[in-house]
Amino acid sequence: MALALALGAVGLTRWWAPAGTAPRVVRFAAANAPPSAAATPAFNAAVSPDGSYLVYRDASGLVVRHLDRRATITLPGTELAYGPFVSVDSAHVGFFVAGAGRALRSSVYRAPIAGGSAVLIGEIEGGPIGASWGSDDTIVVGTGLSAGLWRMPAGGGDAEPLTEVDDPNVSHGWPHFLPGADDALFFTVMDLTTGAVTHGMRRGTSRHQRINRKVL
């Protein structure tokens, strides 16, 4: 069943307006289709860091909707894509494709917003739980239960572990690089009886510190 994005109700504010200029609010509705049943669920919409466009999944693939125009663009080669995330310069969209017949492995791709073919970056074990693209062209990905975060170069290459977990009921997911900083935030996803814990860590290290706790 399609998931309706709530942008039509709450609007989306362009926050980069010059000082003294009232921000422009853009309101529209978009039908957001879930990935196939074989793929790990992921949030299927992302806003570019410069705030100029929204990318979301519909029945045709990943769709780009620039906020200053009504027409949308479907990125070629994204028919099976899900879980989009955007580069720091907003020039590329990263996404995942579940491996055919390989339920515990996913491919990571990048596609240019300006047009062109999607390019394979690499593969990860497990189903993704969010991803974030850092300013140093490092992509950090959360994977399935009982797994930590993985990192890989955006230009292509093997993924390597960034964090580890020692509890079979825990996974590290939903990473997010802070703009202009060396920190990445991620949720430690725990079972329903213990809740979720937010941790922060410094890029280039594997040390992390608990920030907040939420009981689910």
Which tens digit of pLDDT belongs to each residue from 135-186?
Answer: 889 999 988 767 788 899 999 988 988 888 777 777 788 888 877 666 666 6
Tokens standing for residue 95: 């996404």
What structural domains does the chain harbor? Answer: 3-214 (2.130.10.10)
The DSSP H or E segment spanning 81 is none
**Higher confidence at residue 5 or residue 160?**
160
Please choose, from the candidates 160, 154, 163, 205, the residue with its C-alpha nearest in 3D space to the C-alpha of residue 187.
163
**CA–CA separation, 43 and 86 (whole Å):** 13
Q: What share of the chain is helix, strand, coil (3-state, %, to 5)?
A: 0, 45, 50
**CA–CA separation, 5 and 18 (whole Å):** 28
| 3-state SS assignment for residue 10 | helix
Summarised one tens digit per residue, pLDDT across range 41-54 is: 457 889 999 989 99
Range ranked top by mean pLDDT from 99-108, 136-145, 190-199, 201-210: 136-145
**pLDDT tier, 13 (very low <50, low <70, confident <90, very high otherwise):** very low
Chain centroid to CA 187: how far? 13
Give me the mean pLDDT over the 30-51 stretch. 67
